[in-house]
Amino acid sequence: MTDEAGMTAMVIEMKEAGLIDAGIERDENGLAFGATVFCVTQDGHDFLEASAKPALWKAVQETCQGKHLRDVTGELCRLASA
């Protein structure tokens, strides 16, 4: 995977998790080849704020290891509200 392909994949994952608003460029086969980030969503800001708390972030990493980003986001919000 090239650096650009890796970045595009991360943007898609963050968009699917609701952390950012982004446009995804796709070829005629539907394969993503580029992305433009427009802004960080409120959920994205909440995620960044919560992830800045070391103890909370460690708990999320331990609980969510190997899961998709959208699942990590939900777990972080659940732990932050506890």
Give the total number of structural domains in the chain: 1
In the chain, the percentage of residues whose pLDDT exceeds 90 is 34
With contact defined as beta carbons under 8 Å apart, do 25 and 44 qualify? Answer: no
pLDDT at 37 over 90: yes
Give whichever of 20-34, 43-57, 65-79 has the largest mean pLDDT: 20-34
- Radius of gyration of the chain, Cα coordinates, nearest whole angstrom: 14
pTM: 0.68
How many other CB atoms sit within 10 Å of the CB of residue 74? 17
- List alpha helices for the chain, DSSP H: 3-16, 42-51, 54-64, 69-81
Domain with 70 in it: 3-81
Torsions phi, psi for 36 (to 5 deg) = -125, 125
pLDDT at 43 over 80: yes
Q: Each residue of 69-78: pLDDT tens digit? A: 666 666 666 6
Helix/strand/coil for 44: helix
